[in-house]
Amino acid sequence: MPLLRFDPIHRSGAVVVGASLMTWPAVYNRYPLLYPDSMSYLGNGPLIARALFLHKFSADYGGRSLIYDLGILPLHWNLNPWPIVALNALLTAYVIWLAVRSVFPQHTVTCYLALILLLSLFTDLGWFVGWIMPDILGPALYLSIYLLVFAPESLSRSERLIVVVIAGWSVASHVTHLMLAAGLCVLLALPLLFRRQWTHKRLRAVGVVAMIVFAAAAVHMALHWYLYGQPSLNGKRPPFLMARVIADGPGKWYLQQHCGDLHLAVCSHVHELPDSVDDFLWGVHGIWLSSSLEQQERLRGEEMAIVLSTLRAYPRKEFIISADHFWEQLHTFGLSDYDPNPWILQMIDTVLPGARARYLQSRQAQETLHEEFFTSVQDWTLMASLVVIAIWAILVRQWSRRVIGLTVVIVFVVIANAAVTGILAKVEDRYQARVIWLVPLLAGVLVLQWLGLQSSPDCEREPRLQESSCTKLSDV
């Protein structure tokens, strides 16, 4: 099938305009948006680079993604975080461009700019683009997977290579991205067991995604092996799962009943076990921060034994609690994580020397970002999007296969992201907020395609484009 050609000037111009529209929250803030974790991502890169290139090792490289730490270092050099915002914007704008073009090959620029404008103004897309965090790379990864599996024919060879690179960088940037990408591989491989005519083509596409996930995991393991002497996906991360089961209650009950027979580091705190994950991990007098490096190492080593023992002792209770956390996380996605955390100001002179004055002049530092208003705007946008999707599902009998693919990816990601983060970490707005803008994206695609179908369906207008041809849901 011949590839659709686009004027490079129009394509590049549209992507640049789209990227520029996405950066308005950072411009409005007068500085890139920061989070306590941003300080670790910015500060740990030089330590990793020193170990890799100068063989000068440190005792600890933080509990964040070492690949992301190292990858953003050439963009900021502990001087200026704005280039990270620019990269976030360009990568996201480019992947959305390719996704929109795969569905609307005839009116790509118009559809793309309309969607970008709506997403930038009425969702939190731009807020994550302007945040010095790897969160925005998750949606970039999931849209890349859609392109590689459901729309590879819409990509030229060079575009396919770029998408693979973006997917690799995104999946390696955070362990949650890796987990969701692995889950997508399993989900997308299942229909191949029942549809023989898709087997070879789709299996090869899913195999490419699986290889990206495997390569990212292998790089993580190798890097941690080099830096710490043992392979690991997470390195010396805090014991999130242990904090989770203790804060939930069953972990606390298990330890209170068995600590008399166990010789665990956490048992020295058995009478002061907290009721929240934050208190356990980040409280000034919390168990994690108040422990010595040796005690922290023991806590990490004890984590899985405590978690598994708790699950065996209280399986039903843990299932109910986990289901509650999943449901709560599924509808928790406000813009409430942009407060001026004291840790940012405490670390900024170390991580970004000379940036204190610019940060203090930002709306974030002055607490004038008006997050409540923008959260309300996004809530109404999401409700309208769900109504659009429901009406589409009821009234439209023919869907293009690419729209079906995009729908499958987005629905899975929104649900799985809530399950992974709500159950394994804690319920927090930013976890679900980073993917929720994909729902209005899907609704916008459906509206634009409906407008196109009313005048000239894709299957009639472009009968040669097999992947864009209309098909009944019962045939998929």
- Write out pLDDT tens, residues 303-354: 999 999 999 999 999 999 999 999 999 999 999 889 899 999 999 999 999 9
Torsion, Cα of 246, 317, 305, 290 (10° steps): 0
For residue 167, being part of any structural domain is answered with yes
Of 237, 177, 302, 246, nearest to 40 by C-alpha is 237
Hey, what amino acid is at 198?
W
The pLDDT, as a whole number, for residue 9 is 65
Q: Is residue 371 part of a domain?
A: yes
Tokens encoding 368: 């004038």
pLDDT of residue 191: 72
- Cα torsion for 88, 188, 182, 410, to the nearest 10°? 40
Q: Is residue 299 part of a domain?
A: no
Specify if 429 maps to a domain. yes
Examine residue 309 and state whether it is found in any structural domain, yes or no. no
**Cβ contact 177:141 at 8 Å:** yes
pLDDT in tens, 212-236: 999 999 999 999 999 988 888 877 8
What is the predicted pLDDT for the residue at 181? 97
Q: How many domains does the chain have?
A: 1
Task: Reply yes or no on whether the pLDDT at 195 is more than 70.
Answer: no
Assess whether pLDDT exceeds 50 at residue 459: no
Q: Write the pLDDT tens digit of every residue in 284-303.
A: 788 998 888 888 889 988 99
Structural contact between residues 288 and 330, judged by C-beta atoms closer than 8 angstroms: no
Whether the per-residue pLDDT at 10 is higher than 80: the answer is no
Query: Residue 101's closest CA among 70, 146, 137, 52?
Result: 146
Does any domain span residue 269?
A: no
Residue 121: band (very low, low, confident or very high) from pLDDT cuts 50, 70, 90: very high
Judge whether 308 lies within some domain.
no
pLDDT of residue 12: 83
| Integer Cα distance of 444 and 433 in angstroms | 18
Domain assignment of residue 200, yes or no: yes
- Whole-structure pTM value: 0.91
> Could you list the residue range(s) of the whole structural domain that residue 424 is in?
8-238+328-475
